A and B are shown apart, each in its own frame.
Chain A
């Protein structure tokens, strides 16, 4: 039998501080800072947020329902209000687009801010406890995901009446499922790991194990999912409103595109362009940022 001895030749000087380890977050942040696309997209998203806030404070594009020109007036670069032309009632398409932006941003933000934590905690509890809790949970989400999102959304807006609240409830109740499923799977994997067993041995409570020990280790999924939910909420709002089950009486992008359906034949293209381009830019930015985040948060890349 041979014995192997290892000699540590490297001496660690205690005078100098040890090289600092970098956490996943620090590494990701470093990678993200070097990614020009990610920076550009963040700037675009920030710009949308600022415009939405200014619109909320009535500083930009206010009032959207005032008559600023003739009916179906052509785009005219002389002033900001007439830049994108006028709709059938002579209202500024630019102002309507900005109001639509505000609606889209609040839909995206509220949906993502509620659906992601909700889905994550549901998935965490189901995955951590297992047993009948998990079975009931799996049954519940399989049922909900068997009903096509669109029909569930239609049912909810039918039940709660059309408007912003119904829209929030409808979008949240369909969008928590995806992240809940992922987090549940991760918790089933993680709860057997040594660090959780160690925490358990030290007398950590279930609550502390779920939220303090395991959740931080899977939280990169939350960030990714947040940007995805934000984007799909914006898209869903436009389609639902277009189909007549969403927001009514306010200039959402979906309503503008619905108007455009009849306007195109009269050669009025500006309302469609305003809504489509505004939506395209934010969805593109979220798409690219999502990809960059996925790369930056991948723990396998160093």
Chain B
């Protein structure tokens, strides 16, 4: 396990290098003059020269890239252009709110969808199943934005069940603000999730071991909860892998709507302020989180499926 982990981490080095290269090329070369982007059109030549010197933009491009790699290695990304805050501090402050939103939302969605998937496949072919499939397809065709807008307007503004937006840094206080986003997250992802798990579970129920279990006289609920569920862990983890990039999208949208000061909000604010150092760092850091998430799911695969060997 340990050697596996070490090997995986070494294996990601070319990928991390590639991500840094893509981010650098996009922002420092393709995007035109980064200094001009930051100060805007009406800056004096002196201002532009100052910005260039401060962010090392007057150096040759290969040197700039090496500096960028050095920043990554030391986790020192300089200061934000708009707020003058240290970017590494901004990231540290943003990780907490982002994870408080995405992790509970993600786990709740997975648990509820797996349970519903089990129920629906238990009633396969019956009216409950058919209605559920139709609802799933309808649910996944409605725009994510519509869910959030309706939820925020009716549940928070109209019925006053939840605060409209905001965030509290205390451990329990934050969930007062996070409850509605998490609930909406559950609803908007249920369509595709339940459908995915239904297919995965139905595939399991046609396996021989299910027939054997039934032939032995195992009760139907027990077949599903004990035998099928355990074997469905592999597709469930696969789904986790597929969902991880969506967590980023979700955190962007929900943080934007509900004023949660996480990584998504920081990036969107930076975008509106043309705060290039922050956007560049965020693109890199979030990619790093994704790569890390993928390694974690590889480990989980090995935990749930004894056939997978970590070699």
Contacts and interface: CB of A to CB of B under 8 A. Distances in A.
Where chain B touches its partner, the secondary structure class is helix
A75 to B, nearest CB: 18
B163 interface: no
B292 to A, nearest CB: 10
Contact of A147 (B22, B138, B144, B153): B22
Interface in B280-295: 282-283, 286-287, 290-291, 294
B30 A160 contact: yes
Interface residues of A, number: 41
Contact of A260 (B22, B142, B149, B253): B149
A149 B286 CA distance: 11
A279 B18 CA distance: 36
Contact of A287 (B140, B286, B287): B140
B283 A147 contact: yes
A284 B141 contact: yes
A245 B271 CA distance: 8
A158 interface: yes
A191 interface: no
A239 B27 contact: no
B260 to A, nearest CB: 15
B140 A151 contact: no
Interface string B260-272: 0000000110011
Contact of B143 (A139, A154, A264, A279): A279
A239 B249 contact: yes
Interface in B241-284: 245, 248-249, 252-253, 256, 267-268, 271-272, 279, 282-283
Given A146-B15, A147-B23, A284-B141, A159 B30 contact: yes
Of listed A156, A159, A288, A291, residue having the most chain B CB within 10 A: A159
A203 interface: no
B287 A150 contact: no
Contact of B18 (A140, A242, A243, A284): A140
Which bracket fits the contact residues of B? 35 or more
B271 A276 contact: no
Contacts of A239: 144-145, 249, 253
B286 A148 contact: yes
B145 A242 contact: yes
Contacts of B146: 257, 272, 276, 280
A139 B153 contact: no
A101 interface: no
Contact of A149 (B26, B245, B256): B245
Nearest to B264: A150
Contact of B153 (A144, A242, A264): A264
A195 B66 CA distance: 50
B254 to A, nearest CB: 12
Given A143-B22, A147-B283, A158 B31 contact: yes
Interface in A277-293: 279-280, 283-284, 287-288, 291
A261 B149 contact: yes
Given A147-B19, A151-B283, A279-B143, A244 B271 contact: yes
A248 B15 CA distance: 34
Contact of B26 (A150, A155, A265): A155
A147 B142 contact: no
A280 B137 CA distance: 11
Nearest to B157: A265
Nearest to A257: B145
A143 B14 CA distance: 8
Given A142-B18, A244-B272, A265-B157, A158 B142 contact: no
Nearest to A145: B245
A148 B21 CA distance: 15
Given A154-B267, A155-B279, A264-B153, A147 B145 contact: no
A213 interface: no
A235 interface: yes
A148 B141 contact: no
A287 B149 contact: no
A279 to B, nearest CB: 5
Contacts of A125: none
Nearest to B28: A159
24 contacts: A143-B21, A144-B22, A147-B22, A147-B283, A147-B287, A148-B286, A152-B22, A155-B23, A155-B279, A159-B30, A239-B249, A243-B268, A244-B268, A244-B271, A264-B149, A264-B153, A264-B157, A276-B142, A276-B145, A276-B146, A287-B137, A287-B140, A288-B137, A291-B137
4 closest A-B pairs by beta carbon, nearest first, are A143-B18, A159-B31, A284-B141, A148-B248
Interface of A: 139-140, 142-144, 146-152, 154-156, 158-160, 235, 238-239, 242-245, 253-254, 257, 260-261, 264-265, 272, 276, 279-280, 283-284, 287-288, 291
Given A147-B287, A158-B271, 16 more contacts: A143-B22, A144-B22, A146-B294, A147-B22, A147-B290, A148-B286, A148-B287, A149-B245, A149-B249, A150-B249, A154-B271, A155-B279, A158-B37, A245-B271, A254-B145, A284-B141
